[in-house]
Every structure is written in structure tokens, then in C-alpha cells.
Amino acid sequence: MTTIGLIRHGVTEWNRSGRAQGHTDIPLSEEGIEQARRVAERIASEDETWDLIISSDLSRARQTAEAIAKELGLQKPIQDDRIREMHLGEIEGLTIEDRVTRWGDNWREQELGIETKDTVAQRGAAFIEEILTQHKGKKILIVSHGGLIGLTLKHLLPEQFTETLLENTSLTILKHDETKWDCSLFNCSKHLV
């Protein structure tokens, strides 16, 4: 059995102000640093031994992963740009109000250089499948982004997931038993309560 723990990064100032982040490298806010500390403590307190931690190379995910690795006594997280958030093209850094002002109410229908959901889902699923092959039977933590994690879950388990909005530092657990995926925990953020 291979176990993969998917964690969304802690909150940033751009999350709070409603700005599209995408590939823009925004660090954790003070609140996000505290969230990372709390998810790290939660994972360390559970009866699980994790073998490896992998992170998006963007600082908000990397900072979250580093807090977890330190708490668990794991080596420094491996960084991989394939698990970055969806590239949001021209809307990065803009709020919805900014987008409407710039392109009108139908801004979603315009070509603004935004990566497609299908491309993101395939990128995430290919990464997970590679991890499954390279680390068969291991327990791997992956710290990434809400869009990438959600779209990957929809791709891997379409019958289970139609909506996948994720809380910051939420934990989702996937298990693979040689034949199929099972999601035993989804979007759990009990450490923030």
C-alpha cells in the first residue's frame, strides 16, 4: 500500500485579499506560518511515519513543507515545479474586481494565458503516478496548491469528487493498493479549530 498525504500550503496575504496567485511566488503571511506550524504538529502527533516530503518550488508551499519536515525529523523537502499551482496568466495579482474593470464581466471567456484545468489535472496526476512508481509502498507527503490538488483528485477519483475546494493547510490522504486509489481523508483542517 502506498500512502500519499496531500497538503495545501498555508495562507498568504494574497489569499486574504482575493488576489490570484498562480505561479507568482508569494510567501506565507504570519497567519500562514502559524497554520504551517499547526499542521506540522498535527501530523507529528498522529501515529504515522512518513518517509519523504515533496513540495512545490513556490515559497508558500516550500515554507509549509519545511515546517512539516522539521517537526517530523525528515530531510529537507524535495522541490518540484511540476506541482506548482495553475498558471493564471494575465490575471495573476488581480482581484475579481480588477479583472472586471480591465476585461469586463466576461473576463473568464477571454484568452488571458490561463493554463487549462485539464492540463493542470493531467500534470498533477502524472506526478502522482510517477511518485507511485518510484516510491511504491512508501508514505509520501506532498505540499502543493489548492487548484492543483483539487483538479488532480477530480482526475484520479472522478466518481468521488466533483467539487474540491480546499482549506489552507488541509490534509487529504490517498492510498493505492496496487489496483485503485482510495481517499480516506479529504480536506481535513481540524488542527486549525
Residue type at 68? I
CATH number attached to the domain at 2-88+116-192: 3.40.50.1240
pTM (2 d.p.) = 0.94
pLDDT value, residue 48: 84
- Report the catalytic residues: 9, 85
SS3 label, residue 97:
helix
Would you state the pLDDT for residue 178?
84
Q: What span, in angstroms and rounded, lies between the C-alpha atoms of 153 and 130?
A: 15
Per-residue exposure over 95-107, b if at least 16 CB sit within 10 Å of its own CB, e if not: eeeebeeebeeeb
Q: Give the 3-state secondary structure of residue 158.
A: coil
Residue type at position 14: W
pLDDT for the residue 53: 98
Give the Cα separation of 49 and 152 in Å (integer). 24
Kindly give the parts of the chain with pLDDT less than 70. Answer: none
Tell me what pLDDT residue 162 has. Answer: 83
Domain ranges across the chain: 2-88+116-192
Is residue 115 part of an annotated ligand binding site? Answer: no
Q: For residue 78, list its beta bridge partners.
A: 54
13 is in an annotated binding site: yes
Residue 184 is predicted with a pLDDT of 92
Is residue 60 a known part of a binding site? Answer: yes
Say what the pLDDT of residue 85 is. Answer: 97
Determine the straight-line distance between the first and last CA of the chain, rounded to whole angstroms: 31
Helix 30-45 to helix 59-72 angle, to the nearest 10 degrees?
40
Q: Is 12 annotated as a binding residue?
A: yes
Q: How far apart are CA 64 and CA 172, in angstroms?
A: 15
